């Protein structure tokens, strides 16, 4: 039995998902001139002191200096969520009953709303909710490991920027063949040189390139020899600087027409970037956008404790070949005897 049915009679309450979820007003990125604020150009709709009093009374206990770890949850977010939970019955979205349908509707509506918030057109991008940004990265890494097993090389090449968070660095441990197949780019100049060489068809593949992956450091210009993944943070936790957005587009261009990077994909870790900057620039042009972008919603909104993976639809096939299945990723499974 894979479907649960509701054990209580339940009438679905009228629920306008979009309207319910749009309150309270969003203070972020809103530019309001004058208002009650004495400064001429305030990015907020109310004086900050008032917002702080209304929304963040729990911050009165001290000074919070870890915004890059996570932003603080607002009182109205918690109140609104509690209200929704107490006035609706949400079920398991994978079941077939009214509470389940309601959950499914809310998840779908929130997915669209989150994509809109990130400036990612749902025609070109999808969003997978994950436990956090690390889980989103692991999802991509598992897919590459599984897919690589089907290739002649049996492994994939992994390149990552030196300023990457540990969540990105750890992916190298899934690469079979060790340091020969992964490379840490020591800085932007190394990435630029790698992309330029890959885009230049006259340049011979050098098979190496240094970096903290050792002198072999990976497959040099990346090569067209096999499956590859290049990962970097949208914003560095080490320095706070934002790394170039155009790398994803250049990488894709270098793979066009059978180019060397034709099987190399791009993963951007936007966990830090999304909490300090609108993301529209990352997704504006689907041809130049990273294949995968991970975000951490709790860092942006303070609540709920959730992450996400924005997937460029044209690159979604990579995730479809992941070996593991379970939970909401399958509708049904029937155990049959395997011959080996």
Ligand X SMILES: Cc1ncc(COP(=O)(O)O)c(C=O)c1O
Of 226 and 307, the one with the shorter C-beta distance to ligand X is 307
Q: Which of 292, 224, 291 is nearest to 258 (CA)?
A: 224
Of 132 and 264, the one with the shorter C-beta distance to ligand X is 132
Q: Which residues between 57 and 86 bind ligand X (CB under 6 A)?
A: 69
CB of 133 to ligand X, least distance (A): 3
CB of 169 to ligand X, least distance (A): 10
CB of 89 to ligand X, least distance (A): 29
Is 163 an interacting residue with respect to ligand X (CB under 6 A)?
A: no
Is 308 an interacting residue with respect to ligand X (CB under 6 A)?
A: no
Is 272 an interacting residue with respect to ligand X (CB under 6 A)?
A: yes
Is 264 an interacting residue with respect to ligand X (CB under 6 A)?
A: no
The 277-296 contact track toward ligand X, x by CB under 6 A, reads -------------------x
Query: How many residues touch ligand X (CB under 6 A)?
Result: 13
Is 233 an interacting residue with respect to ligand X (CB under 6 A)?
A: yes
Q: Single out the residue of 46, 165, 182, 183 in contact with ligand X (rule: CB under 6 A).
A: 165
Distance of alpha carbon 305 from alpha carbon 299, whole angstroms: 8
CB of 197 to ligand X, least distance (A): 27
The 120-139 contact track toward ligand X, x by CB under 6 A, reads ------------xxx-----
Interface residue list for ligand X (CB under 6 A): 69, 132-134, 165, 167, 233, 237, 269, 271-272, 296, 307
């Amino acid at each position: 039995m894979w479907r649960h049915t509701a054990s209580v009679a339940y009438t679905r309450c009228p629920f306008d998902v979009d309207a319910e979820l749009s309150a309270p007003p969003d203070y972020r990125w809103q530019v309001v001139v004058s208002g009650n604020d004495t400064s001429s150009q305030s990015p907020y709709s109310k004086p900050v002191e008032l917002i702080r009093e209304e929304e963040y009374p729990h911050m009165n206990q001290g000074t919070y200096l870890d915004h890059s770890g996570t932003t603080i949850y607002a009182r109205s977010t918690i109140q609104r969520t509690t209200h929704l939970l107490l006035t609706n019955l949400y079920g398991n979205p994978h079941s077939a009953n009214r509470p389940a349908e309601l959950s499914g509707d809310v998840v779908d509506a929130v997915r669209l709303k989150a994509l809109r918030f990130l400036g990612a057109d749902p025609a070109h991008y999808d969003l997978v909710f994950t436990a956090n940004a690390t889980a989103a990265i692991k999802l991509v890494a598992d897919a590459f490991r599984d897919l690589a097993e089907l290739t002649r090389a049996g492994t994939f090449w992994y390149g990552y920027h030196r300023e990457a968070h540990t969540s990105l660095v750890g992916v190298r441990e899934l690469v079979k063949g060790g340091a020969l197949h992964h490379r840490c780019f020591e800085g932007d100049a190394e990435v630029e040189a790698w992309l330029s060489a890959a885009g230049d068809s006259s340049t011979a593949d050098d098979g190496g390139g240094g970096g903290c992956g050792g002198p072999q450091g990976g497959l040099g210009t990346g090569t067209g020899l096999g499956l590859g993944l290049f990962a970097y943070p949208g914003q560095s936790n080490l320095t706070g600087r934002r790394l170039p957005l155009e790398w994803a587009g250049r990488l894709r261009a270098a793979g066009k027409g059978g180019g060397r990077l034709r099987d190399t994909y791009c993963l951007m870790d936007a966990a830090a970037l999304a909490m300090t900057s609108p993301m529209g620039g990352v997704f504006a042009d689907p041809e130049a956008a990273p294949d995968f972008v991970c975000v951490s919603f709790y860092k942006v909104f303070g609540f709920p404790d959730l992450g996400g993976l924005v997937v460029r639809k044209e690159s979604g096939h990579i995730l479809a070949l992941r070996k593991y299945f379970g939970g909401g990723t399958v509708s049904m499974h029937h155990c049959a005897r395997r011959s080996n």
